[in-house]
């Protein structure tokens, strides 16, 4: 059972849009035990689409297609699919009714280009789109399935959940593939590999190990396959336990765990609260923390102090501290932490001050120099870090290290 | 002149990693007038790699490959390339010396797996990697070029700039392709299309229009091709001018312009300063603004007030305002704006308060309800918005609309 993903759009080839749809579809198919053989990104061009369809049909049982379903002239996926499946376009009354209601509710006239979105290839099953005007299409041919969806991620994701995945589960007899991700930070890929070389050599043949390096972190993925869900799960659990025992201290979480979520759970369990005082990270840490639903239960807020004056006025950093040690110093982040805990009345805080770049570096404190403070007012820890990335990377690495160090602190105290 | 991009890695097919490398390479090639024909993402699997190489060789003059060059066992790109080009691996002394220096400077032992990164296919030109231990490879075959680079974006980008693009420019005689992006907000794709239907119908045959819808915005791209740079540029300029004249009021910028950068330029030109007071956006706006290099010149900082108490203590929002109108109200964002301007001593501020979801909605104020205030203490404007996305989308849409409304305000006053 193999799948091909085809994403259609010149903007993907010109690099103006990053293809996030493929990763979303790949993740969802993997959960069903469907292996993606290939992802193809191609142009809004009839012959390119026809060629990709033919190629995918040869190699796969399931073909997921996104893009090119909009109301404008460069959107040609629908007519090309009708040609490929040798069928005609017919007006679908259900879609037309939904379109009319959609435009009426927004007090907007329905244009001809919108009305044409109710045209569907006669041989497909239309798939309802609740979030937009381009419905999906489900084609079957010699036991193989082709699905076409809009390229807007928000619409595609709803179509996948509500229509495509349930139908795929019913249509195909699926094998069992299971994954477990082990998330590490603070150790390089080759050092990890050296530590677990024996483990890797002795893996059963149906279990595979992969290394996925990220910014400041390495994800390990164990993949097991078989036919019986319980047997596969058990075999995977055994190997995961062996692996965890060997590299325990480098692991911060599993699968989709995110550092900021884990910190939220730790804070909730301890019934403690957090605030942040950010200079070089400029609100990035606050933003990461508050993307987690329910974060208002343990996170009280942040002061982004982008000037010396605001470090004094809002956080109580002393003039003489800034004069003697500078804004990027251990003394300043200590006072930032104390100040923000007081202002927000929290148990803990994280404070950052550094030079994100590209300007602002000196020979003493080059671009990438960062001071962190984290913990409670009476038990805070500090750390100096030096990064060599560009502005965005320096900000992201600072946030990652600040959250990881704070997580370890929460576990240790 | 066509290119194929091949990205290698099981993590791409399982969807654990979003392929950002392809978009980067696509953008860089487009700037050189090289059209990407196809992007192929495939598994760390020998036969898949060999098949993709053969397919790419048939269709393209240039093949860019990323991934699978790490020191671990699942990284097989290098040996597979050696097989494809019928050559052997030889130790490269320059790489070995760099590796030894790299590990010595970090006081780490060099492992065998690292030392093996100095092995290179005999027939390739090695491409120096300053940012990591996996060098790139440049192969030539019958006038076609194959380039292999590491999959870590930070390393690949440096290799592209320092090695690959300069060599590509020298090796190939390149045609001229030029793009212009026109960035709009606040108007739907089909309404834009209707407004400019005549314009689109009358475009010269060597100029193409595309619609790239995003979250709350639509990018229009005009692409012109030809052989003479000046002639192509002139033809493109003529069409851009026609288009801009028709939809001027919806345009916020061009090409890689970002709202937060445009706002920075407007503030700099007016010699004015900005602060933000964020509730539902949780620091996201601050983070966007401070990702711009040099933003400290006009941006003083933010208060992320995630509790009622912090809205009072740090921003001076009155208890009775919160009691009478609630935290998500016009009255509250007005007081937040006044408070944050005072605290940071800025000319302007943006304040947000809303219900990002998934919890916290009521029948009066459902999830997605947002109040914005923006402008100066004496000339502020307010706006209520209602979004229907998930938590992350509601936060992003709020930030986009807040920045866009503030941009228009800056232009009008």
Q: Are residues B273 and B349 both part of a single domain?
A: yes
Percent of chain B surpassing pLDDT 70: 100
Q: Are residues A292 and A239 both part of a single domain?
A: no
Q: Is the separation of the CB atoms in B402 and B372 below 8 Å?
A: yes
Task: Calculate the average pLDDT of chain A.
Answer: 94
Residue-wise pLDDT for B105-131, tens only, equals 877 888 888 889 999 999 999 999 988
- What is the pLDDT, as a whole number, of residue A341? 98
Mean pLDDT confidence for A274-288: 98
Asked if the model's pLDDT at residue B165 lies above 90, the reply is yes
Long-range contacts of B333-339 (CB under 8 A, 24+ apart): B333/B277, B333/B371, B333/B372, B333/B373, B333/B382, B334/B373, B334/B380, B334/B382, B336/B277, B336/B279, B336/B305, B336/B311, B336/B373, B337/B277, B337/B373, B337/B374, B337/B375, B337/B377, B337/B380, B338/B377, B339/B277, B339/B303, B339/B314, B339/B315
- What is the pLDDT, as a whole number, of residue A176? 84
Asked if the model's pLDDT at residue A75 lies above 80, the reply is yes
Mean pLDDT confidence for A111-130: 92
Task: Identify the closest residue of chain A to B284 by CA–CA distance.
Answer: A287
Are the Cβ atoms of A290 and B305 closer than 8 angstroms? no
Task: Identify the closest residue of chain B to A55 by CA–CA distance.
Answer: B55
Q: Find chain A residues with C-beta within 8 A of B276's C-beta.
A: 304
Q: How confident is the model at residue A114 (pLDDT cuts 50, 70, 90)?
A: confident
Distance CA B160, CA B26 (A): 11
Q: Phi first, then psi: give them for residue B387, nearest 5 degrees.
A: -110, 160
Compute the nearest-CA separation of A411 from chain B (Å). Answer: 25
Asked if the model's pLDDT at residue B173 lies above 90, the reply is no
Q: Are residues B189 and B307 both part of a single domain?
A: no
- What is the pLDDT, as a whole number, of residue B106? 76
Are the Cβ atoms of A304 and B309 closer than 8 angstroms? no
Asked if the model's pLDDT at residue B352 lies above 80, the reply is yes
Residue-wise pLDDT for A20-40, tens only, equals 999 999 999 988 889 899 999
Q: Is the separation of the CB atoms in A119 and A99 below 8 Å?
A: no
Q: CB under 8 Å to B373, separation ≥6 — which residues?
A: B330, B333, B334, B336, B337, B349, B350, B351, B380, B381, B382
Mean pLDDT confidence for B229-252: 94
Q: Are residues B243 and B372 both part of a single domain?
A: no
Q: Which residue has the higher pLDDT, B215 or B392?
A: B392
Q: Are residues B397 and B265 both part of a single domain?
A: yes
Closest CB to A302: pick one of B28, B213, B283.
Answer: B283
What separation in angstroms does the CA of B100 have from each of A378, B42, B68, B109, B114? Answer: 44, 33, 22, 9, 9
Q: Is the separation of the CB atoms in A218 and A188 below 8 Å?
A: yes
Closest CB to B200: pick one of A19, A38, A73.
Answer: A73
Q: Are residues B264 and B250 both part of a single domain?
A: no
- What is the pLDDT, as a whole number, of residue B156? 97
Distance CA A218, CA B193 (A): 45
Compute the nearest-CA separation of A184 from chain B (Å). Answer: 15
Mean pLDDT confidence for B45-55: 96
Asked if the model's pLDDT at residue A81 lies above 80, the reply is yes
Asked if the model's pLDDT at residue B186 lies above 80, the reply is no
Residue-wise pLDDT for A204-244, tens only, equals 999 989 888 777 789 999 999 898 989 999 999 999 999 99
Are the Cβ atoms of B39 and A11 closer than 8 angstroms? no
- What is the pLDDT, as a whole number, of residue B374? 98
Task: Calculate the average pLDDT of chain B.
Answer: 94
CATH number of the domain bearing residue A101: 3.40.980.10
According to DSSP, the residues that pair with B208 across neighbouring strands are B223
What separation in angstroms does the CA of B1 have from each of A13, A165, B116, B233? Answer: 14, 40, 35, 20
Q: How confident is the model at residue B146 (pLDDT cuts 50, 70, 90)?
A: very high
| B149 phi-psi bin (left φ>0, alpha ψ -120 to 50, beta other) | beta
Closest CB to B72: pick one of A189, A285, A358.
Answer: A189
Compute the nearest-CA separation of A380 from chain B (Å). Answer: 22
Q: What's the complex ipTM?
A: 0.77
Residue-wise pLDDT for B250-276, tens only, equals 899 999 899 999 999 999 999 999 999
Lowest mean pLDDT among A233-242, B135-144, B191-200, B312-321: B191-200
Domain boundary among A223, A254, A285: A254
The token pair at B273 is 């300063």
Compute the nearest-CA separation of A398 from chain B (Å). Answer: 13
Asked if the model's pLDDT at residue B75 lies above 90, the reply is no
Compute the nearest-CA separation of A313 from chain B (Å). Answer: 7
Asked if the model's pLDDT at residue A186 lies above 80, the reply is no
**Residues spanned by the domain of B114:** 2-171
- What is the pLDDT, as a whole number, of residue A31? 80
Burial B165-197 (b: 16+ CB within 10 A, else e): beebeeebeeebbbbbbbbbbeebbbbbbbebe
Q: In chain B, how many domains are there? A: 3
Q: How confident is the model at residue B28 (pLDDT cuts 50, 70, 90)?
A: very high
Would you list the DSSP string of B133-148? S--EEEEEETTEEEEE
Q: How confident is the model at residue A187 (pLDDT cuts 50, 70, 90)?
A: confident
Q: Are residues B276 and B243 both part of a single domain?
A: no
Closest CB to A283: pick one of B42, B283, B391.
Answer: B283
Domain boundary among B135, B150, B171: B171
What is the three-class DSSP state of B127? strand
Are the Cβ atoms of B306 and A291 closer than 8 angstroms? no
Q: Are residues A29 and A161 both part of a single domain?
A: yes
Asked if the model's pLDDT at residue B10 lies above 80, the reply is yes
Q: Find chain A residues with C-beta within 8 A of B23's C-beta.
A: 12, 15-19
Are the Cβ atoms of B287 and A291 closer than 8 angstroms? no
Asked if the model's pLDDT at residue A336 lies above 80, the reply is yes
CATH number of the domain bearing residue A304: 3.90.950.20
Best of B34, B37, B39, B264 to substitute, by most chain A Cβ atoms within 10 angstroms, is B39
CATH number of the domain bearing residue A238: 3.30.70.2860
The token pair at B32 is 């050189």
What is the three-class DSSP state of A185? strand
- What is the pLDDT, as a whole number, of residue A241? 97
Q: Find chain A residues with C-beta within 8 A of B213's C-beta.
A: 70, 152
Are the Cβ atoms of A290 and B299 closer than 8 angstroms? no
Task: Identify the closest residue of chain A to B276 by CA–CA distance.
Answer: A304
Q: Are residues A407 and A357 both part of a single domain?
A: yes
Best of A190, A291, A314 to substitute, by most chain B Cβ atoms within 10 angstroms, is A190
Mean pLDDT confidence for B129-136: 90
Q: Are residues A231 and A267 both part of a single domain?
A: no
Compute the nearest-CA separation of A66 from chain B (Å). Answer: 14
Task: Identify the closest residue of chain A to B255 by CA–CA distance.
Answer: A16
Q: Is the separation of the CB atoms in A346 and B306 below 8 Å?
A: no
**For the whole model, what pTM was predicted?**
0.77
Domain boundary among A232, A254, A276: A254
Task: Identify the closest residue of chain B to A296 by CA–CA distance.
Answer: B306
Q: How confident is the model at residue A312 (pLDDT cuts 50, 70, 90)?
A: very high
Q: How confident is the model at residue A180 (pLDDT cuts 50, 70, 90)?
A: very high
- What is the pLDDT, as a whole number, of residue B128? 96
Asked if the model's pLDDT at residue A163 lies above 90, the reply is yes
Q: Are residues A315 and A227 both part of a single domain?
A: no
Q: Find chain A residues with C-beta within 8 A of B199's C-beta.
A: none
Q: Is the separation of the CB atoms in A303 and B300 below 8 Å?
A: no
- What is the pLDDT, as a whole number, of residue B217? 85
Q: Are residues A99 and A197 both part of a single domain?
A: no
């Amino acid at each position: 059972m193999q799948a091909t993903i085809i994403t259609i759009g010149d903007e993907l080839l010109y690099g103006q849009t990053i293809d996030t749809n493929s990763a979303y579809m790949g993740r969802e198919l993997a959960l069903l035990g469907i292996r993606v053989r290939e992802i193809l990104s191609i142009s809004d061009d009839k012959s390119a689409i026809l060629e990709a369809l033919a190629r995918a049909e040869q190699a796969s049982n399931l073909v997921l297609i996104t893009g090119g379903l909009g109301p404008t002239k460069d959107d040609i996926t629908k007519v090309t699919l009708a040609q490929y499946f040798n069928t005609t376009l017919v007006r679908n009354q259900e879609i037309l009714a939904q379109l009319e209601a959609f435009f009426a509710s927004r007090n907007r006239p329905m244009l001809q280009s919108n009305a044409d979105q109710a045209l569907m290839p006669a041989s497909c099953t239309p798939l309802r789109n609740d979030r937009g005007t381009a419905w999906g299409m489900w084609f079957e041919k010699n036991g193989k399935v082709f699905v076409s969806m809009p390229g807007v991620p928000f619409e595609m994701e709803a179509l996948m959940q509500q229509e495509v995945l349930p139908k795929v589960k019913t249509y195909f007899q699926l094998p069992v593939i299971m994954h477990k991700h082990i998330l590490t930070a603070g150790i390089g890929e080759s050092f990890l590999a050296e530590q677990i070389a024996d483990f890797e050599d002795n893996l059963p043949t149906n279990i595979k190990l992969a290394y996925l390096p990220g910014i400041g972190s390495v994800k390990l993925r164990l993949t097991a396959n078989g036919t019986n869900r319980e047997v596969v799960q058990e075999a995977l659990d055994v190997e995961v336990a062996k692996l965890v025992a060997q590299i325990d201290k480098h692991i911060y979480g599993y699968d989709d765990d995110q550092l900021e979520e884990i910190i939220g759970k730790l804070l909730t369990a301890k019934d403690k609260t957090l605030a942040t005082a950010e200079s070089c990270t400029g609100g990035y840490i606050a933003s990461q923390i508050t993307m987690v639903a329910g974060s208002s239960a343990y996170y009280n807020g942040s002061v982004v102090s982008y000037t010396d004056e605001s470090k004094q006025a809002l956080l109580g950093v002393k003039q003489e501290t800034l004069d003697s040690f500078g804004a990027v110093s251990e003394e300043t982040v200590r006072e930032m932490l104390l100040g923000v805990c007081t202002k927000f009345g929290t148990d803990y805080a994280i404070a950052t001050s550094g030079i994100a770049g590209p300007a602002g570096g000196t020979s003493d404190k080059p671009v990438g120099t960062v001071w962190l403070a984290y913990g409670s007012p009476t038990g805070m820890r500090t750390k100096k870090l030096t990064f060599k990335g560009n502005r965005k990377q320096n900000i992201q690495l600072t946030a990652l290290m600040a959250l990881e160090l704070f997580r370890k602190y929460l576990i240790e105290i």
